[in-house]
């Protein structure tokens, strides 16, 4: 109609979107799109290079996408083993429920069906250092709900997947805690041109 239009917002995001749509695109056109792609790609390369040490590839070339973490406690199960079990506190083993993309955690087991573990040296918030056995987890795609085991925590008590022993809630809340992680992986991709230049 020929009238001047004014728009504002307390949120800077819609303000920027309005300026891009109403001012920058009509003024700069394709040049703006090219610049956004160029600087976006450069920022992505810089961030990937800086964070790469936190996402090391595995032996088969898989690169972690994310880390899934859980608090842990030491299992009180009586055992002749001098290395105690560090138990991750998981309310559920489900990660995602979608029609064709169900994902869940399960314990890694050996050929005899026993949960496998790894030995690790851990430091707790109170300064305690301990050598522990950690049960290993893996991500899988269940075909039915029955394939997904129960979590380790129920009504505050924690059940060890190795021994089946349940640590009561009173003891669990008093125990020192740390964090354990498992990695969600994807296949490695070829480094970008700018990353290759930096490697030289």
- Residues 115-128: pLDDT tens digits? 999 998 988 777 88
CA dist., res. 67 & res. 198, Å (int):
27
Residue 132 CB burial class (10 angstroms; 0-12, 13-18, ≥19): buried
Evaluate whether 83 touches 131 at the Cβ level (below 8 Å).
Answer: yes
| Res 12 pLDDT > 70 | yes
pTM beyond cutoff 0.85: no
- The Cα 31–Cα 46 span in angstroms is 23
């Amino acid at each position: 109609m020929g009238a001047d239009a004014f728009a504002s917002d307390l949120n800077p995001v819609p303000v920027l979107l309005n300026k891009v749509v109403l001012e920058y695109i009509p003024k700069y056109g394709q040049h703006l799109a090219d610049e956004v792609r160029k600087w976006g790609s450069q920022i992505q390369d810089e961030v990937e290079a800086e964070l790469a040490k936190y996402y090391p590839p595995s032996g088969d070339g898989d690169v972690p996408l994310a880390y899934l973490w859980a608090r842990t406690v030491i299992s009180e199960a009586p055992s002749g083993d001098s290395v105690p079990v560090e138990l991750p506190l998981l309310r559920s083993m489900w990660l995602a429920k979608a029609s064709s993309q169900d994902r869940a955690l399960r314990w890694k087991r050996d050929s005899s069906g026993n949960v496998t573990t790894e030995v690790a040296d851990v430091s707790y918030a109170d300064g305690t250092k301990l050598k522990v056995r950690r049960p290993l987890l893996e991500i899988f795609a269940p075909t039915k709900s029955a394939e997904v085991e129960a979590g380790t925590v129920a009504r505050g008590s924690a059940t060890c997947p190795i021994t089946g022993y349940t640590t009561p809630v009173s003891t669990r809340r008093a125990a020192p805690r740390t964090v354990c992680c498992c990695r969600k992986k994807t296949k490695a991709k070829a480094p970008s041109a700018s990353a290759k230049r930096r490697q030289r």
